[in-house]
Amino acid sequence: MTDRIDTTRLQEMARAYTASAVLYAALDVGLFTQVNAGCTTERALVEATGLRAVDVDRLVSCALSLELLEWKDDELCNARDVEAYLVQGKDRYAGPWMMFTRPDVPGWFQMTEKMLAPASTKLGMYDELTVESARKYHQATSSIGFGAARRFVRTVDLSDRKHLLDLGGGSGAYSITCVEQFEGLKATVLDLPPVVVATQEYINDAGVQDRVKTLGADFTQGEFPSPVDVVVMASNLPIYNSQIIGHVVARAFRALESGGEMHLIGEMLDNDRKGPVDAAMWGMNELICGSEGRAHTRAECEGYFTSAGFIDVEVTDFVAGTLARCAGKKP
């Protein structure tokens, strides 16, 4: 007897946008912040938010069913991850990052039209970056970037390294965190000219301007400053196609001193391309953003490194199910 199949999984997929919409609305009205502040009943939430009782009822029911809220006796409380990341005023507040991709939603529902009438450039939306849009981008994403950078310095020992080259370093999270952790290290953040204006502001705020410098350029073109003994390229892998990534890794190899190392951190597909879903979706996001980027497999990333001449190449989980790290050394 064969197992019966039905449409449940497909229906859930077709309506997955509803969960995103509920999360956006909950952040809009400060639901989780209000619960943290003591509004643990629906009546209190009506008073705090100014919403109708029926709408608070609807929103709370959705939040409970999505495990964003929980019951503690007869009072509402935030789920642990919500309490940590979605309460305004907390150090790890990630609301701006959750909301940052909200303007992209209409584009995802135009995916068919974009595939049937493609219009892409090498960098897509990044061709039109301004200083203000770069600031806005990093205001939304820097908390995630610095969290990843802290994980990096717990994972990789750079205590014997002298100069880090941070490709597409954005807010400078990796450079700033690495020089703070490793006393003898200096760093250069190489990113687009509008971006490094914002980068410098993060560097100044951290007080490391004597050890972290910026260079405004498109790192997909030209040779890199050298000599350096460690290269990091983090969280921008899907923006680029295979040819560009291969060329970037090869130029990083040439810039490195003998014995130097490179770390490529990003959303990588398993070799059978059956996951992680997040990696596949970041690849598809580049259709929405208008670039020529795609999702790369772990084996492809290993191939970029070995083709460039790196040895001891390996790919390991960086954030399981989300990010992987490909590393190699120059002989």
Asked if the model's pLDDT at residue 55 lies above 60, the reply is: yes
pLDDT at 126: 82
- Fill in the amino acid letter for 43: R
Nearest CA to 186 out of 214, 170, 164 is that of 164
Asked if the model's pLDDT at residue 1 lies above 70, the reply is: no
Residue 177 banded pLDDT, cuts 50, 70, 90: very high
* Averaged pLDDT for residues 100-128: 91
Write the CB contacts of 97 (distance below 8 Å, at least 6 apart in sequence): 140, 141, 143, 144
Do 86 and 78 touch, CB atoms closer than 8 A? yes
In CATH terms, the fold of domain 8-93 is Arc Repressor Mutant, subunit A (1.10.10)
Look up residue 239 and give its DSSP letter: G
Asked if the model's pLDDT at residue 72 lies above 90, the reply is: yes
Residue 139 banded pLDDT, cuts 50, 70, 90: confident
pLDDT at 141: 86
pLDDT one-digit tens code per residue, 268-284? 999 999 999 999 999 99
Do 121 and 288 touch, CB atoms closer than 8 A? no
What is the C-alpha to C-alpha distance for residues 177 and 151, in angstroms, rounded to an integer?
A: 10
pLDDT at 317: 97
pLDDT at 119: 87
Q: Is 45 left (phi over 0), alpha (psi -120 to 50) or beta?
A: alpha
Domain 108-329, classified CATH 3.40.50.150, yes or no: yes
What is the C-alpha to C-alpha distance for residues 188 and 166, in angstroms, rounded to an integer?
A: 6
What is the C-alpha to C-alpha distance for residues 262 and 198, in angstroms, rounded to an integer?
A: 25
pLDDT one-digit tens code per residue, 148-172? 999 999 999 999 999 999 999 999 9
* Averaged pLDDT for residues 296-324: 97
Domain boundaries, the chain: 8-93, 108-329
Runs of H (alpha helix) within the chain: 8-14, 17-28, 31-36, 42-49, 53-65, 80-85, 95-100, 105-108, 111-116, 131-155, 173-181, 193-206, 242-255, 277-289, 298-308
pLDDT at 123: 82
